[in-house]
Structure 1
Amino acid sequence: MGLNDQMSPQEWWRHAVTYQVYPRSFADGNGDGVGDLPGITSRLPYLADLGVDAIWISPFYTSPQADHGYDVADYCDIDPLFGSLDDADALIARAHELGLKVIVDLVPNHTSSEHEWFQAALAAGPGSPERDRYIFRDAKPDGSLPNNWMSVFGGPAWTQAPDGQYYLHLFDSSQPDLNWRNPEVGDMFVEVLRFWLDRGVDGFRVDVAHGLFKEESLRDQVVEAGKTASSDARDAADVPMVERTVRDEPMWDQPEVHDVYRRWHEVLAKYDGDRMFVAEAWTQTPESMAAYIRPGEFSQAFNFAWLLAGWSAEEFAAVITGTMDAVGLVGGSPTWVLSNHDVVRHVTRYGGGAVGLARAKAATLTMLALPGSAYLYQGEELGLPEVDVADEDRQDPFFIRTGEGGRDGCRVPIPWSGTAAPYGFGPGTGQPWLPQPADWAPITVEAETGDDSSTLEFYRAALAVRRTFAATAGDDVEVLDLGADVVAFRRGPVTAVLNCGATPVPLPEGRVLIASGPVDGTLPADTAVWLG
């Protein structure tokens, strides 16, 4: 069966809950302080018991690890840090035994600077076929950079090669962007897809899916007066969603990318078992996001509008209606996500402490009631907050390039058991690759298991209830007006209500199926409930 052109409610991914595994930080099988594939395999029964349907594993390919695997040197082998191809095969087989689908990460926008293609490009020089696989340009006549584009990781998006030409990297300088106008690039990635499909993976999460093609002229980005050039759609995250405007982005979301995904769709459609792919596409509007899931393209695209929304009933409601309207135009399937390896954990985004945790659970419960699929990030089921990693321990290239922020705080290895680091993360002793806080003993998997008041048991209960209606409740959502501070909607037999306000609100009629906190006739602040 094909993908979107013959969509059926029975396709596993349409209503799946997928759990993101960040390999370095999930489970360490050999005690070196870094997570690996055997560690993941050993913890798969935990994920099956949690109640998820699939796992998405961030990159584990051969890599110098300048960006922790998103700088790929060989797409068809495993970095020794994480194990071997045999370990990957064992992981896939064990996951399938447990009823879990396996989605792997694909990084097609750029390679590592250590990839054999880039090394050949540097050696071959300007004008060569090898150099044409990447985006090399001469300086402008005045000696300035080829254009004003900025790296997502800070600083200019151009680095000078030894012979004087510049190469484009929208991320780190060790991640040169590929030239997707060269047919060799597309052919190579089709072979990569087949390599992993033949090994049994069920799908791909496509990194920077809105990248790949840039405007052919490589013109300067038009920048609003008083501002600097930017190449990251997430820079708008601090602007309320209802106030955002479309920016000039000649480096993102070009129409040619869709030709790539139509070709990939044809590759996946030749394999049995409803193979799928999901786009990481930081597009600017729900409509532009929906373009990626038109018939014959992606199965799904991450809906970052939900993640970027503030703690606001108005914003949440706008995301729900905007998303459903947009995917409805193309007959697509929506996705919902609150955290991943690139953003501040939502417990902390929503205020931190008890308030942040209450809001995080409430937003998660609301998300899980919506049609389509949900993506969870490892450790959120424990209520993990963002960690304030000391500067001397940070390893994110964004921090290394800018001296600011970075993503290490959401990537600290998760705690499994015990009262001190490494909290059962692996057989070793002491701190893992990123230090764990000293106060995590109460929020390990071991400590939360069996505690009905814990975040872990809340997630298990919510996922169990969700299974009773997710595939049968339909995709229609009726938004209800229960007040300015309340998000409420009805989907089939379930009514979901979220109170974003500061005071309790009356509950509609119905039997409580599950709530994110205590409810008794009214719905307290920062709480959500499902009614049946």
Structure 2
Amino acid sequence: MTASNSTPLTSDDDWWRSAVVYQVYVRSFADSNGDGIGDLQGIRERLPYLRDLGVDALWLTPFYTSPMVDGGYDVADYRDVDPMFGNLTDFDNMITDAHALGLRIIVDLVPNHTSDAHPWFQAALAAAPGSTERARYLFAEGRGDDGTEPPNDWESIFGGPAWTRLPDGQWYLHLFDPAQPDLNWRNPEVRAEFEDVLRFWLDRGVDGFRIDVAHGMIKAEGLPDVGFSTMTTGQRQVELLGKGRLPYFDQDEVHEIYRAWRPILDSYPGGRMAVAEAWAETPQRLARYIGPDELQQAFSFDFLDATWSADSFRKVIDTALAESTIVGAPTTWVLSNHDKQRHVTRYGDGAEGLRRARAASLLMLALPGCAYLYQGEELGLPEVLDLPDEMRQDPQFLRTGESRDGCRVPIPWSGELSPYGFGPDGSELSWLPAPATWRALSVAAQAGVPGSTLELYRAALAVRRSHPALSTGASGVVWLETGPGVLAFSRNAGEAVLTCVVNISGAPALIDGYGEPVVASEALTAQGSGHLLGVDAAAWFERH
């Protein structure tokens, strides 16, 4: 690939305030060598597609050395690439090409826990209780006769107890899989290690970090009980996530970590940033992760969780915008990711789900702030609900029966047969199978086809990038009076005004007085001086 016709990376330090970031689930994006697993070279070969789609940056899920118990979120070496995905030279070549095409690269950082194959944990297993090796993790004595009961009632997010006992009698904490032991972030050695990891990747040119479980690194002193468990009440502790306080999440002391990281980010040129995957019981507590002395962004999962109603969307949007004003940081919108059911399926699946997903995408992309897309949503991909159990690899499935594999199926590029161009010509391998219905959803099947979801995204992203009313300097959201079940807001920059209208009313809605249509999720019907907007549809209108 050459950069002769590319747009070089700009030096805008505030690029992240209005960026559209495309999440690449590395093993499911593009396979360059035919082994059925996506890799860094595959990403490199598909960079022009992402540039032409109109996104600003890519967020890559973990590609580090790992036993892959949890899809790479169990890291054994934070400074190297797993051979499954390539090597450091492949990473360097990919980031060089991405920058030449005007695309920034955000990498996933997993600081709450390591793999049990990490040299630190292997050393801890070989060392005695009370040793410096074990002090890097959270080891504790058990309760009950002879310490045979776990140290407290904490549960794993993946189901079951959050503690595993070693043959010597001590227990170690793992808020996720037993193969993912939690680090002790009160240990200065742990903090120094991750500051060095940050610098390692910043030196290689990464533009930012997505921080996994950003709310989880500090646990309450004394490791107190939650007070209930699935065994005693039937309610899983994870159900409190984002709704209440847990002694192992969102502790005040976690902010010390980010106040130490921010000067490191700021010491590099080009607006290096970090976004928190954080859950907190209130928007106010979530906003504490953001600010000039902490992180630049935190995901707004309330938008992802909004129900398909005008009231739900408006409440979530208003709350997020109010909090962003307080902290002086942009809102961060997301509809799907590698941990959540794809929004086509959440919104009803089939034709109804796709209609709503297309409309929700236009709603999101018209809002101020940063938007995160999940690979394949620009193709209108639904969740794959019928994967054979023996093919599922999510560790959560083994413990709870719940699986995230359905949103991780490799995306279709071209062709009539699975895996639809995922690998090189002639390759038939894919780590998860794509359904036969996806042949009509491939990039090749949709490219250049008027009305396709891919062309809708391309059109919307082009308008978002070029329209003054959607720029960083434009106004915020101004809600407009509408009929029941219709959302409408405008944004403006001087004389340029863009209005986004979403029809959730259950009947076609007459839209008039907002100017000419710019992009719409479904074809509009002219009626008098206005237009009929169909059920579960959205459109942007402009006037100057």
Specify the TM-score bucket, using the shorter chain as the normaliser: over 0.9
Cα distance in structure 1, aligned partners of 2:532 and 2:108:
43
Matches within 5 A, 1:253-402: 253-388=250-385, 389-402=387-400
| Secondary structure of the structure 2 residue equivalent to 1:213 | coil
CA drift at 1:34? 0.3
| Secondary structure of the structure 1 residue equivalent to 2:22 | strand
Whether 2:517 is the aligned partner of 1:526: answer: no
Matches within 5 A, 1:462-481: 462-469=460-467, 470-481=470-481
Output the amino acid matched with 2:190. V
Output the amino acid matched with 2:535. A
Q: Which one of 24, 44, 65 corresponds to residue 21 of structure 1?
A: 24
Cα distance in structure 2, aligned partners of 1:331 and 1:9:
18
Output the amino acid matched with 1:440. W
Matches within 5 A, 1:29-178: 29-142=32-145, 143-178=148-183
Q: Percent identity?
A: 59
Output the amino acid matched with 1:483. G
CA drift at 1:129? 0.9
Q: Is the 8 A contact 1:70 1:107 kept in 2?
A: yes
Change (3 A) 1:294 1:145: same
What corresponds to 2:528 in structure 1? none
Q: For this pair of structures, how many residues does the alignment match?
A: 514
Cα distance in structure 2, aligned partners of 1:433 and 1:54:
26
Structure 2: runs of 5+ lacking an equivalent: 1-10, 526-530
| Secondary structure of the structure 2 residue equivalent to 1:43 | helix
What corresponds to 2:442 in structure 1? 444
Q: Is the 8 A contact 1:314 1:484 kept in 2?
A: no
Q: Is the 8 A contact 1:307 1:338 kept in 2?
A: yes
CA drift at 1:472? 4.5
Cα distance in structure 2, aligned partners of 1:515 and 1:352:
20
CA drift at 1:330? 1.0
CA drift at 1:390? 1.5
What corresponds to 1:188 in structure 2? 193
What corresponds to 2:212 in structure 1? 207
Q: Is the 8 A contact 1:34 1:433 kept in 2?
A: yes
Matches within 5 A, 1:405-416: 405-416=402-413
Q: Is the 8 A contact 2:155 2:237 kept in 1?
A: yes
Q: Is the 8 A contact 2:412 2:438 kept in 1?
A: yes
CA drift at 1:227? 4.2
Structure 1: runs of 5+ lacking an equivalent: 1-7, 237-245
TM-score, scaled relative to structure 2: 0.92
Cα distance in structure 2, aligned partners of 1:106 and 1:310:
30
| Secondary structure of the structure 1 residue equivalent to 2:371 | strand
Q: Deviations over 1:404-434 (max 9, x none)?
A: 1210000000010100011110025334001
Greater shift, 366-375 or 142-151, is seen at 142-151
Output the amino acid matched with 1:309. A
Q: Deviations over 1:241-277 (max 9, x none)?
A: xxxxx42311111111111111110001110011111
Q: Deviations over 1:318-366 (max 9, x none)?
A: 0110001111111111110000000000000000011100000000100
Cα distance in structure 1, aligned partners of 2:290 and 2:413:
37
Change (3 A) 1:88 1:233: farther
CA drift at 1:285? 2.3
Cα distance in structure 1, aligned partners of 2:13 and 2:506:
41
CA drift at 1:109? 0.4
CA drift at 1:9? 8.6
Output the amino acid matched with 2:433. P
Cα distance in structure 2, aligned partners of 1:216 and 1:335:
32
Q: Is the 8 A contact 2:12 2:271 kept in 1?
A: no
Cα distance in structure 2, aligned partners of 1:441 and 1:268:
43
What corresponds to 1:3 in structure 2? none
CA drift at 1:483? 3.2
Cα distance in structure 1, aligned partners of 2:481 and 2:135:
56
What corresponds to 1:5 in structure 2? none
Cα distance in structure 1, aligned partners of 2:41 and 2:367:
34
TM-score, scaled relative to structure 1: 0.94
Q: Is the 8 A contact 1:221 1:248 kept in 2?
A: no
Q: Is the 8 A contact 1:286 1:305 kept in 2?
A: no
Change (3 A) 1:357 1:280: same
Q: Which one of 230, 237, 261 corresponds to residue 237 of structure 2?
A: 230
What corresponds to 2:3 in structure 1? none
What corresponds to 1:242 in structure 2? none
Alpha-carbon RMSD across the aligned residues, in angstroms, is 1.6
Whether 2:491 is the aligned partner of 1:488: answer: no
CA drift at 1:159? 0.8
Cα distance in structure 2, aligned partners of 1:162 and 1:190:
33
Cα distance in structure 1, aligned partners of 2:348 and 2:236:
30
Output the amino acid matched with 1:189. F
| Secondary structure of the structure 2 residue equivalent to 1:222 | coil
Greater shift, 177-186 or 498-507, is seen at 498-507
CA drift at 1:121? 0.8
Output the amino acid matched with 2:396. F
